[in-house]
Amino acid sequence: MKRKMQFVVLAAIYGAAVSSACPAFGQTQSAMNSSAAQSAKKADQALNAQYRMTAGKISVPTRLLLRDAQRSWISFRDQECRFASAGAKGGSAYPMIYSGCLKRLTEERTRQLKSHAQCEEGDLSCSR
């Protein structure tokens, strides 16, 4: 009995240590899905703000090219994330995995747009 009690105490200590080291430990899948969706939404808001800033710094004809590229990129992102998360399709973690992909690709695109907005005058590799 004493040995069993020691095991229970050690298990409780381990559980407390793991839950403090890993915030997702102990969360429901629904909560993790919701958190991932919020993170993806936040990344999308940052992308939209950067898109507007970048578009505001380029000529109208080039802005139309950016618009078309952005629309194509959004389609690519969504399809890529459906593909990347297909292994979890139908499972409870699918929304979390899909949202994580959306967030990652959206943050990458935001960095690309930011780079386009910071082009030096005379840099022929930049769109103006």
Own/partner long-range contacts of 43-49 (Cβ < 8 Å, ≥24 apart)? 43/102, 43/103, 43/106, 43/107, 43/110, 44/102, 44/106, 46/106, 46/107, 46/110, 47/106, 47/107, 47/109, 47/110, 47/113
Name the CA dihedral angle for 88, 72, 109, 92, rounded to a multiple of 10 degrees: -20
pLDDT in single tens digits along all 128 residues of the chain: 566 545 444 444 555 544 444 556 789 999 999 999 999 999 999 999 999 999 999 999 999 999 999 999 999 999 999 999 999 999 999 999 999 999 999 999 999 999 999 876 666 666 66
Burial class (CB in 10 A: 0-12, 13-18, 19+), 89: exposed
Q: How far apart are alpha carbons 94 and 122 in whole angstroms?
A: 46
Q: Are 127 and 65 in contact (CB under 8 A)?
A: yes
Sequence-separated (6 or more) residues with CB below 8 Å from residue 89: none
pTM, full prediction: 0.76
Residue spans per domain, the chain: 59-115
